[in-house]
Amino acid sequence: MATVAGTAYGFLTDATLCIGCKACEVACKQWNQLPGDVPGDALSLTGFSYDNTVDLGATTWRHVAFVERPTPVGVAWLMLSDVCKHCVHAGCLDACPTGAIIRTEFGTVVIQDNICNGCGYCVPACPFGVPQLDRHDGGSHKCTLCYDRLRGGLTPACATACPTASIRFGPVDELRELGRERVATLQASGLKEASLYGDDDLGGTGGIGGLNAMFVLNGPPDAFNLPAKPRLPRRNILPAAAATLATAVGLGLAALASLRSRA
């Protein structure tokens, strides 16, 4: 797909189509030259479920979650390939003091390795816990939505490798409509839990304004370690400041009343 500067691009990842093959993880690590998560042996399991990666991190930019979910007839497996959400209003970008985190001409959020000083401010600023510091180079890293490939007119590596079309790449507006249509189809077929994660109702909440990486879910968001109503941390500043001011005013009035009672 030829990309056009000025158009916002992203992912639509469908949990109902994911088979847990981890081809997306392998393609991401291979293209971006990222090491394995198990020291000394990239093919070993971590000990957490049937998984050779634990979560999104500085060296894992796509992570396929394996979720065992009890059902009346046994256990069902939920699988979802998680990734940076490339938020419309990104908390990491807001918090970065050096200008290392930028929004590209494709609407994606990228950390510039040569500018990042490893301060870590972006880590708590992300409602999804995506950016993480690398213990080897000290810098913060995450998915770039294959910015180098986009500039060359190529599709991101993970979407190219996915054998089931669970990961789709394209303009965000088009993907959002495809996601809504998919959810409607799933609900009509009886999957009432189906939802689109990434709009203003679910996932793109609390000042985030929507996600450029959206997900079709076949279970509740928390089953996939996704907060249903995430909120930008900066949204907490005003209420906290107001509470502090109110406390200060209250203490001041109490002190004044005490002085008057002694006069």
Please provide the average confidence, as pLDDT, over all residues in the chain: 89
Count of CA atoms in the C-beta half-sphere (13 A) of 139:
15
Contact criterion met (CB below 8 Å) for 93 and 103 = yes
Give the closest residue to 215 by CA, choosing from 201, 199, 232, 230. Answer: 199
- Kindly state the percentage of the chain with pLDDT values over 70: 84
Tokens 């046994």 locate to 74
Helical H segments across the chain, by residue range: 23-32, 91-95, 122-125, 147-151, 157-161, 172-188, 237-262
CA distance 209 to 201: 10
pLDDT of residue 72: 85
CA dihedral for 206, 225, 111, 106, sign (positive or negative) = negative
CA distance 118 to 138: 5
What are 196-210's pLDDT values in tens digits?
999 889 999 999 999
What are 34-49's pLDDT values in tens digits?
987 765 555 555 555 6
What is the average pLDDT across 57-69? 92
What is the average pLDDT across 90-101? 97
pTM, two decimals, is 0.85
Contact criterion met (CB below 8 Å) for 157 and 147 = no
One-letter amino acid of 77: W
35-39, 155-159, 187-191, 194-198: least confident range: 35-39
Asked whether the predicted pLDDT for residue 32 surpasses 80, the reply is yes
What is the average pLDDT across 187-191? 97
Give the closest residue to 29 by CA, choosing from 66, 67, 1, 57. Answer: 57
What are 251-261's pLDDT values in tens digits?
666 666 666 66
What is the average pLDDT across 153-167? 97
Residues in the chain: 263
What are 209-247's pLDDT values in tens digits?
999 999 999 999 999 999 999 999 977 765 544 555 556
Q: How is 143-157 classified by DSSP, letter by letter?
A: ---SHHHHHTT---H
What are 105-140's pLDDT values in tens digits?
999 999 999 999 999 999 999 999 999 999 899 999
Three-state SS for 212?
Answer: coil
CB-CB neighbours of 154 under 10 Å: 16
Categorize the per-residue pLDDT at 262 as very low, low, confident or very high, splitting at 50, 70 and 90. Answer: low
- Greater model confidence, 248 or 232: 232
61-75, 77-91, 135-149, 194-208: least confident range: 61-75
Three-state SS for 205?
Answer: coil
pLDDT of residue 240: 47
Give the closest residue to 109 by CA, choosing from 58, 156, 151, 145. Answer: 145
Q: What is the CA radius of gyration of the chain?
A: 22
pLDDT of residue 73: 85
pLDDT of residue 256: 64
**The tokens of 49 are what?**
């479920």
